[in-house]
């Protein structure tokens, strides 16, 4: 007897449809799984047999062969347990009337026959198409984000009974609406006029930002408030972010898309694979993909291994991580707004009263942690100092995130009229055609080029930032020399690091 059940597996952050073919024939009792299964899939034979017997169903004493098609695609995870069990039951004469056509099945089986949730439900259900799909009850909310016909069950026995028409599908618990996560407000930041301005420009234009300053200058406080300046995610971006987080196994609010830009802040001990993604059997998305459409904050930037930081250069330029392995390959979305924070020296006291205690050699090693090509990815680099005591003790607060977010949204709408999401995506051709410079602004940039203090790539980066500064003032207005001068000032800390 032969039965075929539709299911899916994960590859990177994408789901891949899998047809589970089960053949039951005479011969010595055995259970063989073919079709490039990983260890979790191969071990399904023990879980499936115990779950079937625990559900009060008969297990055939026959030769069972399970083929996972397409055979050239590697299969991973325990989500194929449910379709394998149903395929075995449908291939036996006792349950030959089991109707499985046109439906998909995903779920891990416990030894007692219970259905357990698996990571990656959103992309896997999406890969199965618009038809009905059966998943564990804990995953129904996520599944219905992409398939309105998703059904849930608590046990294998409930699935079999519902498919045979003996009982209805179990009633699902009400969807729990998660409480909104509070976003830190920019009004909490006292002083730091330059830092607040740089934060707003970064949010408006999608420009990567580097903050350099001693401990206690507010670098982390500023970075955590950047998501509050970004506009809510569009429907397509929200679905993509939700798919990535689902593939990574992160906890998602039941039945709700991710509407706010994500914020990720990995520790400086993170490995290259954990940061950019990949692996051997499961191409797990890294931190740069988990921050897709949001903010990736790298605190203590100079403490990250140089090789790990340089692995970010290509994703920051292209907005995607291209992971290539001998057996697997995947393209992982990675369009992020990068914020880096670092001390000016190992002791952190350079430029502070009392002076730096580091040797010249120690300062040199500290500065060489960041390669020139990586520094070149930062459009904005500002030096911060510790806030004035009068600002810290004062009763008045600064401008709120809501007010700044209004200007950011208006600037981003201006960028969209030029055919890009944000000004950081403007190419050289679009800059010249859609972002004209005033005569004084053009002369200021030309003088910097002739003096050798600005490279050709730096020219375009300053030009983009100047356009963003203009958009915050008037999206339809020209780029003036004041905008260019401020754009140059907002990268002064980067030029100082390069000069050292």
Please list the pLDDT of the chain residue by residue as tens digits (500 residues). 888 999 999 988 899 999 999 999 988 889 999 998 988 899 998 999 999 999 999 898 899 999 999 988 889 889 999 999 999 999 886 666 666 778 999 999 999 999 999 999 999 999 998 889 999 998 998 898 898 889 999 999 999 999 888 889 888 766 555 555 678 899 888 888 999 999 999 999 999 999 998 888 889 999 999 999 999 999 899 999 999 999 888 877 656 788 899 999 999 999 999 999 877 666 789 999 999 999 999 999 989 998 899 999 999 999 999 888 767 778 899 999 999 999 888 887 776 666 788 888 887 787 777 888 888 889 999 999 888 877 777 767 778 999 999 999 999 999 999 999 999 999 989 999 999 999 999 999 999 999 988 888 889 999 999 999 999 998 888 899 999 999 999 998 876 665 45
Question: What are the angstrom distances between the C-alpha of 32 and each of 14, 63, 78?
Answer: 27, 8, 16
Contact of 339 with 209, CB cutoff 8 Å: yes
> Would you give the end-to-end CA distance of the chain in angstroms?
74
Task: Tell me the C-alpha distance between 95 and 419, whole Å.
Answer: 58
Phi, psi angles (nearest 5°) of residue 330: -160, 150
pLDDT at 450: 92
Q: Tell me the whole-structure pTM to 2 decimals.
A: 0.89
3-state helix, strand, coil in the chain (%, to 5): 40, 15, 40
Residue 171 CB partners (closer than 8 Å, separation 6+): none
Task: Tell me the C-alpha distance between 107 and 413, whole Å.
Answer: 43
Could you give the 3-state DSSP secondary structure of residue 179?
coil
Task: Tell me the C-alpha distance between 384 and 211, whole Å.
Answer: 7
Contact of 336 with 288, CB cutoff 8 Å: yes
Give the residue from 232, 369, 246, 361 showing the smallest Cα distance to 309: 369
Question: What are the angstrom distances between the C-alpha of 37 and each of 84, 121, 303?
Answer: 13, 19, 39
Cα-Cα-Cα-Cα dihedral sign, residues 300, 267, 193, 469: positive
Task: Tell me the C-alpha distance between 241 and 326, whole Å.
Answer: 27
Angle among Cα 237, 247, 154 to the nearest 5 degrees reads: 115
Domains of the chain: 2-163 (3.30.230.10), 186-499 (3.40.50.300)
Could you give the 3-state DSSP secondary structure of residue 349?
coil
Give the residue from 389, 461, 370, 374 showing the smallest Cα distance to 423: 461
Give the residue from 440, 425, 448 showing the smallest Cα distance to 379: 425
């Amino acid at each position: 007897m032969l039965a075929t059940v539709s299911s899916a597996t994960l590859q990177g952050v994408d789901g891949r449809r899998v047809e589970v073919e089960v053949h039951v024939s005479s011969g010595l009792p055995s259970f063989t799984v073919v079709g490039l299964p990983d260890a979790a899939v191969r071990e399904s034979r023990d879980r499936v047999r115990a779950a079937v017997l625990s559900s009060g169903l008969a297990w055939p004493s026959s030769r069972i062969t399970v083929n996972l098609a397409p055979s050239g695609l590697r299969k991973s995870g325990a989500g194929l347990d449910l379709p394998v069990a149903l395929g075995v039951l449908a291939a036996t004469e006792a349950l030959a009337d089991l109707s499985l056509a046109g439906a998909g099945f995903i779920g891990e089986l416990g030894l007692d026959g219970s259905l357990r949730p698996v990571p990656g439900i959103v992309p896997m259900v999406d890969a199965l198409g618009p038809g009905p799909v059966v998943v564990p009850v804990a995953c129904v909310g996520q599944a219905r984000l992409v398939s309105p016909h998703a059904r849930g069950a608590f046990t294998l026995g409930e699935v079999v009974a519902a498919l045979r028409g003996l009982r209805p599908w179990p009633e699902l618990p009400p969807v729990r609406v998660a409480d909104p996560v509070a976003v830190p407000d920019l009004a909490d930041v006292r002083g730091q006029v330059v830092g607040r301005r740089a934060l707003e420009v970064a949010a408006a234009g999608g420009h990567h930002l580097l903050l350099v300053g001693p401990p206690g200058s507010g670098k982390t406080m500023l970075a955590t408030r950047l998501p509050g300046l970004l506009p809510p995610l569009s429907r397509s971006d929200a679905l993509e972010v939700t798919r990535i987080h689902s593939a990574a196994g992160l906890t998602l609010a039941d039945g709700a898309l991710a509407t706010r830009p994500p914020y990720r802040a990995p520790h400086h001990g993170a490995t290259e694979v954990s940061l950019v993604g990949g692996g051997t059997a499961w191409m797990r998305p890294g931190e740069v993909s988990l921050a897709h459409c949001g903010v990736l904050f790298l605190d203590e930037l100079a403490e990250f291994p140089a090789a790990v930081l340089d692995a970010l250069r290509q994703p920051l330029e292209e907005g995607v991580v291209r992971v290539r392995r001998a057996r697997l390959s995947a393209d992982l979305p990675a369009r992020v707004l990068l914020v880096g924070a670092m001390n000016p020296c190992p002791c952190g006291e350079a430029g502070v009263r009392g002076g730096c205690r580091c040797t010249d050699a120690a300062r040199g090693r500290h500065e060489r942690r960041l390669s020139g090509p990586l520094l070149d990815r930062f459009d904005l680099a500002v030096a911060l100092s510790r806030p004035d005591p009068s600002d810290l003790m004062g009763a008045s607060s600064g401008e709120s995130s809501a007010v700044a977010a209004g200007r950011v949204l208006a600037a981003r709408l201006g960028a969209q009229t030029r055919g890009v999401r944000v000004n950081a995506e403007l190419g050289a051709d679009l800059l010249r055609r859609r972002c004209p410079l005033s005569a004084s602004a053009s002369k200021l940039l030309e003088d910097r080029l002739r003096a050798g203090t600005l490279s050709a790539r730096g020219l375009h980066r300053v030009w983009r930032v100047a356009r963003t500064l203009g958009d915050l003032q008037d999206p339809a207005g020209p780029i003036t020399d004041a905008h260019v001068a401020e754009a140059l000032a907002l990268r002064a800390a980067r030029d100082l690091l390069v000069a050292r």
